[in-house]
Chain A
Amino acid sequence: MATQLREPDRLSPADLVREDAVHRSVYTDPAIFDLEMKRIFGGAWLYLAHRSEFTEPGDYVVRHMGTQAVILTLGKDGAVHAIFNRCSHRGATLCAFDKGSAPHGHQCPYHGWMFNADGSVRFVPYDKGYGDRLDTSEFGITPVRLEEYRGFLFGNLKGDAAPPLADFLGHMKTSIDDLVDRSPTGELECGPYVLRHYYRANWKMTFENLNDTVHPGFAHAASVVSAKAVANEVGGPDNIVPTVGMMLANGKPIQFFQDIDMVTAPGGHSYIGGHMGADYTPDTSDAYTRSLIEYHGPEKARDVLSVDRHLMLLYPSSFWHARYQTLRILRPVRHDLTEMIGFVFRLKGAPEETYRNAIEYCTGANSAASPVISDDLEIYERCLLGNRFGEREWIPTGRGMDEDRERTNTHDRMPATSEGFIRNQFRAWAQYMGQA
């Protein structure tokens, strides 16, 4: 373990990332994880919550920014505020639940200190014991800077030093538009039930796996074999349910993915897919399509429906699937422990069936019991085990390096089989990590 870096101060991230390789310690070293929490999760805009999760003043949710918990609360002023979930007295966490209602503020269970939605001190019991030593204006809980894009609330721990959210999103804001524009009322509603799984490996494994189109034919081969066997048993592919269809899709030949585009953008973001062909015509016999045409008009509705993107990876913490209205948040817990939290959105005004499809997708894509996900989790954990030993310390990331199809100021385009999205993530990684 000669290159295991134990001194974060002396860490030179540039030494760990090469153009076509990455040093395995980025997955295995707790000191690197600690630095990632400070510099990546402490510097990027992180998706936290959707505006529809708050209706009455006092409604709150608890989310994580890296390893730090924050409370988002709707204030009486009509704005959502974020504060650390930590009493400014003795440090106890204020909220024990993921969500709830605290219309009178958040009260610490220890000595009863109470805080407003924006973190200001509302009330300190027995404050006379402090004489004039307690200036409550100095004991507010630090607020976290929030910005909203089309109902999605993002937080940034750098506060005023952070660039605007729009700069961070860049080209990827079109994938958020893709999600919102699919609503026939322009509104989304975050579903009340979330689906969580975890794995014992590094958080970056998920980022490097979800847009990898070469692994499914191998890692998910058993599901494909089993799905085919069941399809035969029930009389062919026309008779299968969508979940089984999703498993069959993993058996597509690599050429299928070679023909699809991968798009990467500065900041480590990426998505797979693009547009339906020029001759694409929406199916107007479909009730959802008709509702969208009514809202947007036929031309805009066609534009919206012709966007054919799969998962969008918003580095370093969220995964967006517009067509199935599923959004996943990644929560890094330790260098070897990661939680994934899945949310489903209702397109307000769309037929109930649209929501059912989204739920089915989310269950298949984020449940620990999903045959596809359980294979991935096993692979992540095996990679962590294997990267702890052996002579070979560098992991190659050069697949598709000479296959770029287009380079622009805002994004690059390449075959979906390329590892360009991983190289792009590590360019962002090195940039964040290089900023002290």
Chain B
Amino acid sequence: MSDEIRLFVEREARLLDQMRYEEWVGLFLPDARYWVPVSLDQPSPEAGPSHFHDDIQVLMVRTHRLANPRAFGAEPSPRTVHVVSGVTWEEDGDAIVATSSQIMLEYRNRGNFDDDTRLFGGQVTHRLVRREGALRIAHKRIDLINAEGPFNAMLAPL
């Protein structure tokens, strides 16, 4: 099972890097949430604003938009590569809580030389549940080490 969870977390990141967004959104349960807090001590998305606090509909719009030629903010599209490391997990009732360290390197060719490449990094927490034999994401939280920001435009999901 350890292998299965590690492979799941790695595959999720790989789908983003390969821009296979429909498959990526398909990993989330219909009532799932995707959350990037603005502080490492933010207890919940209800306590204040977030960088991302997406339900499945917002994830759908976001990824649909990345494929749209008039999405100026994504023109040209960001390319990313995730490095996933140190996946550990524990059971929490019916769910599995997996944590990993992740670094995402992002590149958008805007003619600004080295400034076109950015690094994001932090701890990623997946709450996974099994549905019809397959693991699905009930909740994904990304605690960026620089959560307090500020950030320039973030197009690619982390």
Contacts and interface: CB of A to CB of B under 8 A. Distances in A.
A191 B51 contact: no
Contacts of B37: 193
Given A363-B53, A374-B155, A230 B149 contact: no
Contacts, number: 145
B44 to A, nearest CB: 10
A244 B51 contact: no
Nearest to A367: B51
B49 A193 contact: yes
Contact of A367 (B42, B50, B61, B148): B50
A378 B70 contact: no
Interface string A348-369: 0000100110011011001111
A363 to B, nearest CB: 5
B51 A356 contact: no
Given A230-B57, A344-B49, A359-B46, A195 B149 contact: yes
Interface residues of A, number: 51
B64 interface: yes
A367 B53 CA distance: 10
Interface residues of B, number: 39
B133 interface: no
B73 A374 contact: yes
21 contacts: A191-B49, A192-B47, A193-B39, A195-B49, A196-B149, A197-B149, A200-B152, A222-B71, A225-B65, A229-B61, A230-B57, A244-B61, A247-B61, A344-B49, A352-B46, A363-B51, A368-B153, A369-B151, A375-B71, A375-B72, A377-B153
Given A200-B152, A225-B65, 17 more contacts: A193-B48, A193-B49, A195-B49, A196-B149, A197-B149, A222-B68, A222-B73, A230-B61, A241-B57, A244-B58, A352-B46, A362-B49, A367-B51, A369-B52, A371-B62, A371-B71, A375-B71
Interface of A: 98, 191-200, 219, 221-223, 225-227, 229-230, 233-234, 240-241, 243-244, 247, 339-342, 344, 352, 355-356, 359-360, 362-363, 366-369, 371, 373-375, 377-379, 382
